[in-house]
Chain A
C-alpha cells in the first residue's frame, strides 16, 4: 500500500500529526531549503512498509574491501542483526531516539524522519586498546521507497574510535527517499573520526542529519561525502559542551548530471577554548548543482575560540553551479576566526603544462582534480575508506 507523507503521518498518531502541522514544509521560502524544490516529495505516493529481500552477498559487495571490527547493517532503515557483526566493545540497544539538541529550524521533514522511532539503534562504544573501526551500512531497496533511520552513538570517555557510515541504494530503488540521522555523543577525552558516505542511484534522494555533541577535551572529525543521488543533502551540526572540544569538518561535493548535492554545516561554540577547522571542496559538472552553507557561531562566552573555514570550488562546465555561503556569527571578542571561499575554473595553464610533457588532456584533468581534492581526502586516517571514496570520485572524473 502506498501513502502520501501526510497519510503516513496521520497513521503515526495525533501527537505526531500535531507536531507535523505546526512546522513549515521545506520550500524556497526557507533560507536553508531555498536551492531545491521539495514539493514533489509531499505529493508523491510512497512505499513505506513493503518488505524487500537483501542478500548477504549484496551487502558485502557494498563494502568494497573496507575492513571493520564491527559491522551494523540496516535495510530500509531496519536493523539486520543476522548480517551484522558486533564486537565485544560495542553495546547495541533499541532505546528510543531523542534528539540531543533541538534545532531552531525544524521542518516537517524532521517529523517524518523521527516518526518511526523503531528504526535505528543506540550504540555505545567502550574504551578499548584494540583497533576500533565500526561500519554502519544502510541499504535502500525498492521503487518509491520512503525509509527512515535514526541512530545515537555514545563514545565513552577517553575512547578512540573510527566510525564509517555508508548509505547505498540498490539499482531498484528508483525515486526513493531516505531520511537518516546519526547523532554522536563524544564523552570527555574521546577522539572520534566519523565518515558519512551516501552513494545513491541517480533518481534516489537522501537527507542525512549528523549531530555531534562534544564534551571537554574531545576531538571529533567529521568527513562528509554525499557522493551521488538526485538530491543528496547532509546537515551537520556540532555543539561544544566542554572546553578544548575540537571539531574538524572535511567534505567534498561533486554534483554531476542532474544531481543536486548540498552540505549544510552549523558549528556552535558555546564554551571557551574550542577549535574548529573546516575545509570543503566542490567540483561541479554538466548541470550539477551544489550548495555549501557553513555557519560557525561563537557565543559571547566562547572566548579564545579558534575557527577556520575554507571552501574552494571548481566548475567544469558553464552550466554547473555551486552556491557557497560561509557565515561567521561571532559575539565574543577574544577569538581568532577566518573564512574564505573561492570558485573558479580548471587551471588551463596547468593543463597546458602537462600536455606539453606528453600527458593527454584526460589524464591531465584527472591529475589536476585529484590534486585539488587530495588535501581534504588525505585527512582521513582510514586508507581503505579513502580509496572507496576516491574510486567513486574518479569514476565521475573519468566521465568528463
Chain B
C-alpha cells in the first residue's frame, strides 16, 4: 500500500530525513518510536504533504500512485490521514462546518454523492460517541478551548469520520488519561479492517498494549536504524535508546 524508498527531506536547507525506507501492507499496524527530534513528525508531515518540507531525494508510492505528485488535500482524499501531534485551533470555524467541508471535499474528489444533512449529523453523533468526544465540543470552533486530551480525541473522531486507508497517528497517546487512552485505542481497533493500515508514532510501550503492532521501527537522526516485532518496543522501554544508538 505504502512504499517509501530512500526518502530525504529538508527544511530551510537542513536535512531532517536522511534516507527512509518503509513498506506498509494493507491490514498492518506499524509503530515508529525514536527519541525527540529524530524526525518522526517530519516523516508524518511529509507523507501528508506539508509543503514547508522539501523532498530532496527518494520516492513515495501510495496505492500505486506517486504521492509526491499530489497536493496535501488530494492525498487526504486518496485516503491518507494524519492525526496531528499538535492539533491546530481554528477560531470561527465550527467543528460541524469543518467536518462537513472535509466530507464534501472527499466525495467531490471521488465523484460520489455526499451524505444528506441528516445522514451527516447521524454519523457525527455516532463517531463522537465512539471516541467519547463530549457533545458540547461539536458546537465550538475547531479545537478552540479544547483540553489537550480533547484535542487528541478530536483527531481520532475526525479519523473515524473520514475512514482513511492509511492513518498516521503522531503521538496521539500523549496527553490522554488512562481511560481516554483505552477509549481511543478501542476506537482505532474498531476501525481496523484488512484493507487499511496504521502508522502509530509513540514514545510509550503502553499504547502498544492496546494497539498491537505487527512491526516496530526505531527512527534515529532521520533514519530507521532498527526494525523488529512488538518485543522491540518492550526492549526499548527497558533499556532506553542508548543500547541501539551506541552499538
Q: Using a CB–CB distance below 8 Å, which chain A residues touch chain B? A: 347, 349-350, 352-361, 363-364, 367-368, 370-375
Contacts and interface: CB of A to CB of B under 8 A. Distances in A.
Nearest to A372: B92
Given A360-B105, A363-B101, A355 B73 contact: yes
Contacts of B50: 352, 356
Given A355-B71, A358-B162, A371-B93, 19 more contacts: A347-B90, A352-B72, A356-B72, A356-B84, A357-B73, A357-B76, A357-B98, A357-B158, A358-B76, A359-B98, A359-B102, A359-B105, A360-B105, A361-B73, A367-B98, A367-B101, A368-B90, A368-B93, A373-B92
B88 A353 contact: yes
Contacts of B61: none
Contacts of A350: 88-90, 93
Given A352-B72, A371-B92, A371-B141, A358 B87 contact: no
Contact of A356 (B48, B92, B106): B48
Determine the main DSSP class of A at the interface with B.
helix
A357 B101 CA distance: 9
B84 A353 contact: yes
A374 B90 CA distance: 13
B41 to A, nearest CB: 13
A358 B164 CA distance: 11
Interface string B52-87: 000000000000000000011100110000101001
A371 B76 CA distance: 23
Interface in B98-133: 98, 101-102, 105-106, 109
B63 to A, nearest CB: 15
Contact of B90 (A354, A355, A363): A354
Nearest to B89: A350
A375 B101 contact: no
B82, B92, B109, B162: most-surrounded residue (chain A CB, <10 A): B92
A355 B50 CA distance: 9
Contact of A358 (B84, B92, B106): B106
Contacts, number: 79
A355 B102 CA distance: 9
A139 to B, nearest CB: 34
Contacts of A359: 73, 98, 101-102, 105
A357 B48 CA distance: 9
B53 to A, nearest CB: 11
Nearest to A355: B72
A349 B71 CA distance: 16
B105 A363 contact: yes
B97 interface: yes
B91 A371 contact: yes
Contacts of B89: 350
Contact of A372 (B77, B84, B91, B102): B91
Contacts of A353: 84, 87-88, 90, 142
B49 interface: yes
Contacts of A373: 92
B49 A375 contact: no
14 contacts: A350-B90, A353-B88, A353-B90, A355-B49, A356-B48, A358-B73, A359-B105, A360-B71, A363-B101, A364-B101, A367-B93, A367-B97, A368-B92, A372-B91
Nearest 8 interchain pairs by C-beta: A371-B92, A358-B76, A353-B88, A371-B93, A355-B72, A357-B102, A358-B105, A350-B90
Nearest to A362: B73
A352 B92 contact: no
A358 B77 contact: yes
Contacts of B98: 354, 357, 359, 367
A349 to B, nearest CB: 5
Interface string B27-41: 000000000000000
Contacts of A354: 90, 98, 101-102
Contacts of A371: 90-93, 141
Given A356-B76, A358-B76, A374 B92 contact: yes
A358 B93 contact: no
